[in-house]
Amino acid sequence: MKMNYENQWNELADIKDELAQRDWFMGTSGNLAIKVENSPLSFLVTASGKDKRKRTSEDFLLVEQNGLPVEETTLKPSAETLLHCKVFQQSKAGCCLHVHTVANNVISELFSEEREVTFKEQELIKAWGKWGQEDSLTIPIIYNYAHIPRLAEEFGLHVNEDHGAVLIRNHGITVWGKNGFEAKKLLEACEFLFQYKITLLQTKRMELFN
Ligand SMILES: CSCCC(=O)C(=O)COP(=O)(O)O
Ligand SMILES: [Zn+2]
């Protein structure tokens, strides 16, 4: 029986369009996934190597818990599907978004030795439910293993909650949330915080030389 995933397809296509408007899919980078069924697990994931700024009937394909296509298709699942598998296997998240931006790459490199970057006393951490005066948001940074199963293993160590984010050094960020709305909100908040920190560091450095 062919599964009906029209709603999830349209939701993910709309998110893809919004992220594309922000120019977050440079050079075919990025991949997105949305859950269709819990048991047995299935989710829609972007087809590999596509120009994600275009909206077509071949943008997504349905895969099972191990990232293999459920239906007959000539499309290839995203090269990074195993990371989405980790999210849906290890949490109750409904949506997972991965983008490459200059800001997330720069932050991942600047804080690579610390293996994490922390934001405190910044209003936008409230997007993450951090409303307390002393609250902080810490995003782990992992090494960009070329071998995707190895990368997914490392990534999976940080999937302990139903929402979260992991920076992959000089590669990009993967963010997940209970649904598309939450995942997009958290991703946007991260990108704001990254741009803010870079601008602040640059400004302070310029002040030093003046
Ligand atoms: C050209 S970007 C290199 C691969 C990558 O990191 C990415 O996000 C896109 O890969 P996909 O297979 O999902 O198109
Ligand atoms: Zn990537």
CATH code of the domain in which 68 resides: 3.40.225.10
Whether the Cβ atoms of residue 104 and residue 175 lie closer than 8 Å to each other: no
- Write the Ramachandran bin of 23: left for phi over 0, alpha for psi from -120 to 50, otherwise beta: left
**Inside any domain, residue 191:** yes
Specify the pLDDT at position 208. 84
Q: Which atom of ligand 1 is nearest to the CA of 171?
A: 6
Could you tell me where the DSSP H helices lie in 91-179?
102-110, 148-156
The atom number, within ligand 1, closest to the CA of 100 reads 8
Is 190 among the domain residues?
yes
Question: Rounded to whole angstroms, how far apart are CA atoms 189 and 179?
Answer: 16
Q: Which of 183, 156, 148, 162 is nearest to 38 (CA)?
A: 162
Q: What is the mean pLDDT of residues 165-191?
A: 98
Q: Is 100 annotated as a binding residue?
A: yes
The answer to whether residue 176 is domain-embedded is: yes
Question: pLDDT digits over 37-75, tens only?
Answer: 999 999 999 999 999 999 999 999 999 999 999 999 999
Q: Which ligand is nearest to the CA of 51?
A: 1
Expressed in angstroms and rounded, the spacing between residue 79 Cα and the centre of ligand 1 is 6
Q: Is the pLDDT of residue 210 over 90?
A: no
pLDDT band at 23 (very low <50, low <70, confident <90, very high): very high
Q: Which ipTM did the prediction report?
A: 0.99
Global pTM value: 0.98
CA nearest ligand 1 atom 13, residue: 78
Residue 1: is its pLDDT beyond 60? no
Residue 102 belongs to a domain: yes
Task: Determine the average pLDDT of the residues in 9-37.
Answer: 98
The domain total for the chain is 1
**Residue 1 lies inside a defined structural domain of this protein:** no
Q: Whose CA is nearest to atom 3 of ligand 1?
A: 29
Q: Report if residue 51 sits inside a domain.
A: yes
Between vectors from CA 29 to CA 48 and to CA 38, what angle results, nearest 5°?
A: 55
Q: Does 148 fall in a domain? A: yes
pLDDT, mean of residues 161-168: 98
Q: Give a yes or no: residue 56 inside a domain.
A: yes
Parent domain of 121 = 6-208
Q: Is 171 annotated as a binding residue?
A: no
What is the position in ligand 1's atom list of the atom closest to the CA of 98? 8
